[in-house]
Amino acid sequence: MMERRQFLALAGAGLGGLFGSAGPAWAQMPPLRLGVLSFGTVEWELAAIRALGLDEAAGLKIEPLKLASNDAARIAFLGDAVDSIVSDLLWAARMRGEGRDIVFLPFSASEGAVMRAPDSTIATVADLAGKRIGVAGGALDKSWILLQAYARHQAGIDLAKAAEPVFGAPPLLSMKLEQGELDAALLYWNFCARLEAKGFKRLVGADEVARSFGVEGPISFVGYVFKRNDGRNDRQIAAFAAASRQAKQALASQDAIWSQLRPLMQADDEATYNVLKRTFLAGIPSRTIADEQADATKLYAKLAELGGEKLVGKTATLPEGLYWAGH
């Protein structure tokens, strides 16, 4: 197993020099308290940042705090128990729309999907009528809202009434789908990947649903949310953004790093490991912020139309300044 110094050699001199002579100034920054989900994939990126020494190069001290659910993460963030969390673009937009000085840094464009068993007779969205559908999140989850709109448009059915939605945590829903207690399940991408490795099939992906509403390219629906505090945290955010970007570049180009991440991935077989790795890499944000924001604006307007104030709050358009742009 490679030691940390070998990773630094693999990374090349460019990583160490990323922050130039600014290191001593960055070192004066307070610790970055980052809330992470116990079943999420952010830990993979954090492990790469540590292995490559990118945190030290930036003068960053990252203090991860494991949280049990998205709700717990949001409560911790709003209660100042953490400085940053990885959350939904929609929630971040709502918070900024309410006047909070927060910014969104794209983390992943990998999206979830509706999964079905290998021998399932469900072939189209119309076939979901009369079926038990697991839904990760709640009734106002953006993927569930979009899926309902897609079903109305494609098949003329109201899934909330025609099917039996079962809301719950992704691990539980995934298990129930495997056990045959659910006919299908709308799950986050990492749970879809694990099921795919076991032969389960995708019925429709959230990316396909988004494209049906005019989105032209992948959108990072998940990202790091930071508090700017009138610009006082901008140096810290910029340092983390650079470390995150370099870690993603290394993960995309250096297979050796993945051997260090594998224990975190809980991949017991090669098939699961390979699907998780492939899907994670496919979701690395590659578009300009301007392009992402243009598509996100279109989709946000559609979601505001479909979900109303309960979903997006009082802001019917994507708030200006939501995306981190280096400030």
User: What SS3 string covers the chain?
Assistant: CCCHHHHHHHHCHHHHCCCHHHHHHHCCCCCEEEEEECCCCHHHHHHHHHHCCHHHHHCCCEEEEEECCHHHHHHHHHCCCCCEEEEEHHHHHHHHHCCCCEEEEEEECCCCEEEECCCCCCCCHHHHCCCEEEEECCCCCHHHHHHHHHHHHHHCCCHHHHCEEEEECHHHHHHHHHCCCCCEEEECHHHHHHHHHCCCEEEEEHHHHHHCCCCCCCCCCEEEEEECCCCCCHHHHHHHHHHHHHHHHHHHHCHHHHHHHHHHHCCCCHHHHHHHHHHHHHCCCCCCHHHHHHHHHHHHHHHHHHHHHHHHCCCCCCCCCCECCCC
Q: What confidence category does residue 16 fall into, taking pLDDT thresholds of 50, 70 and 90?
A: very low
Over range 25-50, report the average pLDDT.
87
**Residue-wise pLDDT tens digits, 152-203:** 989 999 999 999 999 998 999 999 999 999 999 999 999 999 999 999 999 9
**pLDDT in the model for residue 26:** 47
**pLDDT in the model for residue 108:** 96
**pLDDT in the model for residue 25:** 47
Residue 101 has pLDDT above 70, yes or no: yes
Residue 95 has pLDDT above 50, yes or no: yes
**pLDDT in the model for residue 3:** 44
Q: Can you name the CATH fold of 113-211?
A: D-Maltodextrin-Binding Protein; domain 2 (3.40.190)
Q: What confidence category does residue 221 fall into, taking pLDDT thresholds of 50, 70 and 90?
A: very high
CATH class of the structural domain 4-109+219-312: alpha beta
- In angstroms, the CA 325 to CA 99 distance is 18
Q: Average pLDDT, whole number, for the chain? A: 90
Give residue limits of the domains in the chain: 4-109+219-312, 113-211
| Interior angle at CA 55, CA 53 and CA 61, nearest 5 | 135
Residue 219 has pLDDT above 80, yes or no: yes
